[in-house]
Amino acid sequence: MTLPNWITFSRLIGIPFLLYLLYSPEPKLQWICVAIFLVASLTDWLDGYLARKLNQISDLGKFLDPLVDKFLVLAPLLVLIELGRVPAWGVFLILARELAIAGWRVSQPKVTGANIWGKLKTVSQIIAIALLIAPLPEWRLIALVAFWISVTLTLISGIIYLLPTNNSDTTDSQKTEIEKN
């Protein structure tokens, strides 16, 4: 197993600790949750960077990385529903988008990287979840606004991902043929 895959796997191992500590009412433990979540989120960037830099892109990594990313986002959101910090239907929209895109990707012959909307979605989710976990009651409204921004960007990125990209999929000879007609 490659170093980037080990980093991805470590992110998966951190999730149960995050979930366990999320139930604690102690601010100190909630800050530990924020730290675990942010470190795990940063390893998502690190494993991809190292895979490209060390030329260690693997089929296992292509499968494991997005799966672990979904666990990292959805697991704390499910606990936050139970704790009454976010509405279930907002989390359902995120879950529905993630499942739809994962299912769509399986049918694609080529795995494509994230576009700017996918990156904005990821960053907004990380910010929202970190704010929702943080023991800052005076920031609850800001955390909820960040959550709804992340839901909106999640839906936008999903729609854009599924839109047909006729211009990029059309070859030059096909374009010439289209122009003739």
pTM: 0.84
Quote the CATH superfamily of domain 3-163: CDP-alcohol phosphotransferase transmembrane (TM) domain (1.20.120.1760)
Instruction: Find out whether 12 and 71 touch, Cβ atoms under 8 Å.
Output: yes
Written as tens digits, the pLDDT of the chain (181 aa) is 889 889 999 998 999 999 999 999 999 999 999 999 999 999 988 988 898 899 888 888 888 888 898 999 999 999 999 999 999 999 999 999 988 887 777 777 666 666 788 889 999 999 999 999 999 999 999 999 999 999 999 999 999 888 876 444 444 444 334 334 3
Token pair for residue 175? 């374009």
Dist. CA 8–CA 134, nearest whole Å: 24
| Domain parsing of the chain, residue ranges | 3-163
Query: In this structure, are residues 140 and 86 in contact, taking their beta carbons and an 8 Å threshold?
Result: no
Residue 87 falls in which region: left (phi positive, over 0), alpha (psi -120 to 50) or beta = beta
Q: Which of 84, 93, 72, 101 is nearest to 25 (CA)?
A: 84
Structure confidence by residue, pLDDT tens digits, 86-104: 999 999 999 999 888 877 7
3-state SS, 33-55, equals HHHHHHHHHHHHHHHHHHHHHCC
